[in-house]
Amino acid sequence: MKYEMKISLPIYKIAYAVFFVVILSLVRGVTDSYEIGIALEAPMAVLAAAFCADTYTQEITSKRSEIQRLCPMKKTVYSIYKRILIQVIFLMADAVIGYGLFILFQNPRTADSGQIGAGSEGCRFFVYIAAVAVTLGFWGILSNLISCLFRNMWMGICGCLILWLMTNSNVGDRLFGVWNLFSYTFRDVENGSDFGWICGKIVCIGIGMAAAAVLPVIIAERG
């Protein structure tokens, strides 16, 4: 596990991920705490795509994939799954730090101070954590899958960016509604009891599971 962490979390990745949320919390203004999730979800999706794109392609560029071909495919795929999990867990911690920085730097109004919507501030935070966990996992595995398919990390990032632009928009919201990948961002914040946006997260989970299932085939075919 320590070996996988060393490969998955080099210092430069940790640095730019933390720097990313610090800068975002300083430049993205929010008035109410419910806006923090809106401010963070879409940018964190881009960060996850960039962060996880080279999870396996670094094995190709460093020629380690030739050595991995000597190992059972099951072991290679299991190693990639572990690296993605490690990266997503780190990004989750980064998302929590980002939430705290928004509270610290901008001191937004909270649910307990008569803000619109229902539910306590703690409930809103845990809903944010659940939504962003699905978002990070989805964009991380998808970016890695596309990178493996084209044997190029930039193709993984660009492919995800195109999908991101399509779904993180008013057009995407109107077209997909609650089934949008960013349904949490476009949810009705004035109705805290409306959890229709979960449909979009179910789509993310379904596509993510399909991507994880296809990944061994892609690695076997593309090396």
Each residue of 181-201: pLDDT tens digit? 999 999 988 777 778 999 999
Q: For the chain, give the percent of residues with pLDDT over 70.
A: 88
115 — pLDDT class (breaks 50, 70, 90): low
Q: What is the C-alpha separation between 192 and 120, in angstroms, rounded?
A: 10
Phi first, then psi: give them for residue 72, nearest 5 degrees.
Answer: -60, 140
Q: What is the C-alpha separation between 120 and 211, in angstroms, rounded?
A: 35
Q: What is the pTM of this model?
A: 0.90
pLDDT over 70 at 15, yes or no:
yes
68 — pLDDT class (breaks 50, 70, 90): low
pLDDT over 80 at 19, yes or no:
yes
Give the chain's mean pLDDT: 88
Q: What confidence tens digit (pLDDT) does each residue in 151-168 have?
A: 889 999 999 999 999 999
Which bin fits 177, alpha (ψ -120 to 50), beta or left (φ > 0)? left
Please choose, from the candidates 185, 17, 166, the residue with its C-alpha nearest in 3D space to the C-alpha of residue 88: 17
Q: Which residues contact 49 (CB under 8 A, 6 or more apart)?
A: 139, 140, 142, 143, 156, 157, 160, 161, 164
57 — pLDDT class (breaks 50, 70, 90): confident
Q: What is the pLDDT of residue 1?
A: 74
- Mean pLDDT throughout 205-219? 93
Greater confidence (165 vs 117) lies with 165
- Mean pLDDT throughout 56-84? 71
Greater confidence (45 vs 193) lies with 45
Q: Is the dihedral of CA 185, 187, 192, 193 positive or negative?
A: negative
Dihedral, CA atoms, 35, 41, 47, 53, nearest 10 degrees?
180
pLDDT over 70 at 90, yes or no:
yes
Q: What is the pLDDT of residue 212?
A: 94
- Mean pLDDT throughout 137-148? 96
2-10, Cβ contacts within 8 angstroms, sequence gap of 24 or more: 4/79, 4/82, 4/83, 4/86, 5/86, 7/58, 7/83, 8/55, 8/83, 8/86, 8/87, 8/90, 9/86, 9/87, 9/90
